[in-house]
Structure 1
Amino acid sequence: MSGATGEPSPLRVLATRSWALAALGVVAAVVTCVMLGLWQFHRFEAKSARADLIEHNYSAPPVALTDVLPASDSPLAADDGWRTVRLTGEYCTAPECVLYARNRPFNGEVGFAQLVPFRTDDGTVMVARGWVPTQSASSAPADPPEVPTGERTIVVRLRPMEPVLAGRTNPPGQVQSIAIEELAAVEPAAGTLHRGAYGELASEDPAPADAPTPFPRPDTSLGPHLSYAVQWWAFALFFPIAWAVRARRAVLDEIELRRRGGAAQPVHARRAPARSRDEEEEDALLDELRG
């Protein structure tokens, strides 16, 4: 509705197809930015929860295996990831017991994880003793250390079993993933394995003369996900602000045009450039000559 001065209503000025499409584009952009921000924030929350779990469990005093896995078929609870447990027993040193998990990265190289069942009175746990490099000429472990014999006490950090990689074949003595389905072949010699978790070796007593390279501490950095979330939400604010600024400019331009006595024009139309004083004087001179 126009006022007493003849100023146009903002709604009437903006009630055009182009401004409606611009508004829909702004809504779509805002929704997209908000959703992308939420996705990045959820990734931040997941990494933060994982980092807190590692910090809490990684260096905690070790507990008995039965405190975490009461039976051989007990699943590893999410809160018990990286939990340290103390085991007393001995490794299964038979050749068929020693396996190597393929494609394990370490310091920019790809090698193997040495896997050996460890028998205890509370069951047999598959233990990843450490990292072994790959031979340069073939896809096989390079000079893997011997598995120590005799009774010993070890401390391991529990990790959930990995999923089976479909469509892969295993070379002799190797597995693609640390999955119970791939480890079951050692059970005739080693005994029934705990099926919910394997152990990543932290220490051995007595310490062997030669051992695989210890696994590195897991990464607990949170990455840039929180800053990315804030950036996406800032973008979500930018689009409606930019639309509002342009809409206000369009309304003010229309008001100014009417105050000058010009005919109403579409909002998107350009105003004719103002004539210079020289052009006006030339027109006046031509009018006099014609007269």
Structure 2
Amino acid sequence: MNVLDLTLGWVTEAVGGRLRSGRSDARVGAVSIDSRTLETGDFFVALRGERFDGHGFLSDAFSQGAAAVLVEAGVAVPALPEEVGVVEAPDTTRALQDLAHAVRTASGARVVAITGSAGKTTTKDALAEMLSTRFVVVKNKGNLNNHIGLPLSLMQLREGADIAVMELGMNHPGEIGRLVAIAEPDVRVWTNVGDAHLGFFESADAVADAKAEILEGAAADDLLVCNADDCRIAARTGGFPGRVLTFGQSADAWLRATDVASLGVDGMRATVSASGDSAVVETGLIGTGSLMNVLAAATAALSFGVSLTEVRDVAARLRPTDRRGVVHR
């Protein structure tokens, strides 16, 4: 893991931009797209969307203490002291993504990317907890998992983490592929295929095709963790060039759950076996779907050298995330 102390020159090169003003060796603080949250020394990225334009808040950004800004080429910038940095690029959204990818690469950290129709956040949180028994881990905050949220989440790698656990969200074809290109994951986790996004697709098979973009750009030394019980996933992962570890209740799953039992409002229990080792795992998360999310996280965690005993202990502490599946007694 590398702690990254970025400079304006480094950022400018990473985004393929031009340093309009400021010193190339000036340090870059925290990256933000919200002028209201800026602190002294931060770096403000002015994004342009259908209903907003961050360039309209440049004055606010500077009054909040921003030391530098990223703007689209040709945009007028308020009169500034000479030392204030202005980096320009053709498209600030793409530049933010390119900066995140450069940070990801320079950090030396390993990245886990998670997709699926349901359970991404639960799987992410469970895996981050399991990996934290041995590593310094960062993860998406909340559900910052789209083309803007993912780059902002990857910026945490500047702090010197060993592993980033990132969930990837989507509404349309092509989105997962772009997010994979940004994150360049070493481990890809595909939890399931369902109808969670069917409003944007013609069928569950179309959803599966879009989710299958998680496989794009994989190399021989990459790992895929996927659901052995999901026929749509099985039909799309046969050509993965790297190692594949499966989870589920199927007899051929690498990590298999047997003797699955509901504990009612107290959660789930199962005997979990992998590579000749087994343990009775209990979790306070409710339902078979939640158990499958724990199995997905466990499979990925074991691939990093976390023990099944550590997985069992973390699973017992897991509780619903952000009011998801909370039981009110």
Q: TM-score, normalised by structure 2?
A: 0.20
Larger proportion of helix: 1
Q: TM-score, normalised by structure 1?
A: 0.22
Q: Which has the larger radius of gyration?
A: 1
